[in-house]
Amino acid sequence: MHDFPDRMTPEQARQFRDDVLNIVSQIPCGQVTTYGIIAAWAGWPSHSRMVGRTLRYSPEAVSLPCHRVVNAEGRTAPGWSRQRTLLEEEGVTFRANGHVDMQQHLWQPEPQQ
């Protein structure tokens, strides 16, 4: 059995979910951010996969711009073909390899004061 020092308590998991949803709600139209950036801003930098699970399984996420979250390379979510269309409708451009042009469209939250 492994010891996971960064395992969340139920309260931490609830706070993480709330933080993730709050961050996603702030992503401006025409920009994207990554699962890793969101995880880091939520205080759990090694939990980028949990950001994806949070967005997939939280009923509140339906009303958020989840399509603006991509992986660090700018790849869209596998199995969600509509994501690219939604991003293109907002003016997000893609490179020849099908990834979001991260240099042009990457958004990072403002530092907290």
Which residues form the catalytic set? 66
Query: Cα-flanking dihedrals φ and ψ of residue 91, to 5°?
Result: 95, 5
- Reading the block at residue 10, the tokens are 């139920």
H or E element that contains 104? helix 102-105
Q: What's the rounded Cα separation, in Å, for the pair 56 and 54? A: 5
Q: Are 3 and 13 in contact (CB under 8 A)?
A: no
